[in-house]
Structures are given as C-alpha cells and as structure tokens.
Structure 1
C-alpha cells in the first residue's frame, strides 16, 4: 500500500480579485477549497494515485469566491469540480470514482463482488452519516452521534485482511475520513467527547490513515476548524455551554 507521496507546494488561494485560469486548454484542473471536506475527498484520491503533475489544484476562497467560477467554470458554484477532457464535472463521490477510473496510479476499487457490494453500501450511507452528525450540532451532539460512529465500528469488523473498511485502503475510506476528521476534532475540543472510546476498530482505522501521506497533506488546521464550527453553530454552542 502506498503510504507516502511527494510533498508539493500548494498554490495560493484564488478570490474575487483573481484572474481565471485557462479553461479547456488541455490542463486538468481540480477546483477545491482547502477547508472543504467534500473537496478533500478528491484531493486525497488525486494524491494517493500520484497525480499531482497531471491534475493541478485550483484552490478557491469560498467566502470571497471569484464571479467567473460560477459564470464560466461550474454553474453549481460549489467545490469540488474537475476540468477534464473539455468538460467540467462535480459531486465529490462521483469524482473520486471518476479519478480512480480515468487516471493511472494504484486502484482504489475493491476486488471481488462481496467487497464491491459492501463498498456501495457504505458509500450510500455517507449522506445519512453526515446528515446525522451535522444535525446533531443543533442540540447536544454527545447524545446523537453514537449511532453513526457505532455503524462505522461495526463496518470495520467486516473484513480482517487490513485495518480499513474493505481491508485495504479504498474509496470508502476516502469518502468518510474528511468528516470523521472534523468531528473527532470538534467533538473532542468543544464537547469533550472522544469518538474512539469503546470503538477500537475506529481508533485503529484513524491511526492507520494518519500514516498515509496522501491524506496527511490534506488535513485541516484543528484550530481553524474549531473556530469555524463554533461560528457556524455559535447560538447552540452558547446556549448549551453557558
């Protein structure tokens, strides 16, 4: 398994004052935000497959995003989006599969029908997982998030040929880790809730992921994450901690 990748100098963030990069000029560009978990999925996939030279990052400031992005690049005005083969496509779960299928590098799809079926089941659950986690922040998350994390703990018992959901590192791990990363930080810092207590498989999964350079290079800044989530959920946070 590839656990390291080339360190790259990350390009500067583009905002409303920045010029638009060329479109459909033969260069494949991945539009992301460094802080967006959905974009992080595709960023990890790119890194793990060793595509840093083939897929160029274009980071955007989502709070002050360029007008040209919606007008000329991606009308949905969201990240991630990929400019490839004279078209722009989006949606993170579609994109991680697209990058895995259309570019070189190690495959991130499982072998065998059993693993493929389980992969689709877990990927389908990601929306439910994220919805429960984010909705929990409208109240006391320590009372709401146990079920989703227990679901992951159970899923990690399915295969015993490695520490990941399908045994070996795959798109399933990439689909979940940006969100688990953020909630592990926020719940621990603000709510003093450790998602790994009583979940040894989840703890081992996180530990192993943190050995993978392709992921480590994409991780969010914990302090910035906590401050951003406090602002986003400030009213509830104040009511329940006053």
Structure 2
C-alpha cells in the first residue's frame, strides 16, 4: 500500500477563539474535523496518496467552530473544504476525485470500463445507503437497514481480483468506509446487531480496510461515536 506506516502528529482542533491560519499563502490546506465521516473520506485519500507533506490538515471544532471559517474561508460553513491554487473547494466526494486527479500518488479510480461503470453505480448509491441506515436508527434498526448491507454484500462479489468493491482498493471504498465504520459500531452497541453476520464478503472487506494505514490513522473513537449517536438518535425517540 502506498501510505507510510508512520503515525502523523495531528494538530489540535481550532475553536472559536483560535486565530485564522493565513489564507491563500501557497499552502494547500484541508479544513477538516477528526470525527466527521465526510471529512474522513478526504483525509483517507490524502494519506493513501502519500500527501501528508503536501496537504496540511486544519482541524476544526465543529461544536465551537471559528466564525472566520464561514466568513472568510468557506461560506457553506461545513467540512471538508480544500484550499488549493487560490480557491476553496468543498463536498467530500468531489474532493476525493479532485485530490486524486490533481495530486501525485496512486490512482484511486480504475481505467477498466466495467469497473468504471460499476464504480459510478456504487458512487450514486452511497447517499441512499447512508439515509436508509440513519433512518433505521430512529426506527427498528436492523429490520430496516439489513437490505442496505445486503446490497453491499452483493456488490462486493462483483469482481474477484480482490476483496474491495472494484476488486482492488479504490475511491469507492473510501466513500463507504467512514459510514460503515460508524454504523457497525452503533448497530452493535444500540441494537446488538452484527452487520457482518451472514455477510462474509462485508466482513472480509472491513478486515482488509483495517489493514490500510491510510485509513487506520483516521478511525474515530468508538466510545465518543456511541455517545454522539445516542444523543442524536435515541434522544429523539
């Protein structure tokens, strides 16, 4: 794998009292949040392509975010956002593709036409997948979200040249893993539901993902995640 094994010393998140880093000073910056799954996609991409020295992390505290971020950096006031070549770009899936095509490192999207086509299908399904599972947290959990994980199990059987969605590791895996990571933890804790039971390909995929340093270094703290999701979902029931 392309990512270095050395664990990065991560800068502390910036809160409302933090000064704004210089804008458009020639440094490429990824405005992120260590616990945000959307931002995690771009963080993994950066790591996998070996861009730790080329793209500087600027983590934000989203519960106490600096006013300058919305006012001067990114009016949408969301993460992730990338500062590159005198402009600010947002939206996590767009940024995975942008970083892949504008920076050095191993390509994250295959040239094979069949894999390209299937990759686009999976790419377009991701929002529906996320919505189904999040909705299930407020309802009956496993009964409602089971089919979404069955869809992933089926998709993981499409190509046999590797355990990933397109056989070999790609941007599709990066798109899904931050959410599967969180869903696995929360469904196990809140509903005693194992998303990998009866889904051997999904289990193998998660196992292989956990071997990739670029991803391992971005994983969220399970206790914090359960606490956050409990507040967000179970409190509304």
User: Could you say whether these structures have the same fold, taking a TM-score greater than 0.5 normalized by the shorter chain as the test?
Assistant: yes
- In the TM superposition, 1:43-192 aligns within 5 A as 43-192=43-192
Contact 1:45 1:96 in 2 (8 A): yes
**So what's the TM-score if we normalise by structure 1?**
0.96
State the secondary structure of the residue aligned to 2:138.
coil
2:209 and 2:120 map into 1 onto residues whose CA distance is 20
Matched, 1:12 2:12: yes
1:192 and 1:231 map into 2 onto residues whose CA distance is 18
2:80 and 2:3 map into 1 onto residues whose CA distance is 24
State the secondary structure of the residue aligned to 1:89.
strand
State the secondary structure of the residue aligned to 1:63.
helix
Give the unaligned 5+ runs of structure 2.
none
2:160 and 2:181 map into 1 onto residues whose CA distance is 23
State the secondary structure of the residue aligned to 1:145.
helix
1:73 and 1:114 map into 2 onto residues whose CA distance is 39
Give the unaligned 5+ runs of structure 1.
none
**So what's the TM-score if we normalise by structure 2?**
0.98
Contact 1:5 1:50 in 2 (8 A): no
2:235 and 2:220 map into 1 onto residues whose CA distance is 23
- Residues 14-71 of structure 1 show CA distances to partners (whole Å, capped at 9, x for unaligned) of 0000000011110000000000000000000000000000000000000100000000
2:200 and 2:233 map into 1 onto residues whose CA distance is 29
Contact 1:132 1:144 in 2 (8 A): yes
Moved over 2 A (4+): 1-6
1:234 aligns with 234
CA shift at 1:6, angstroms? 3.0
Q: Compared with structure 1, are the counterparts of its residues 4 and 167 closer, same or farther at alpha carbon in structure 2 (3 Å cutoff)?
A: farther
Q: Compared with structure 1, are the counterparts of its residues 4 and 211 closer, same or farther at alpha carbon in structure 2 (3 Å cutoff)?
A: farther
1:3 and 1:199 map into 2 onto residues whose CA distance is 28
Contact 2:137 2:234 in 1 (8 A): no
Q: Compared with structure 1, are the counterparts of its residues 40 and 110 closer, same or farther at alpha carbon in structure 2 (3 Å cutoff)?
A: same
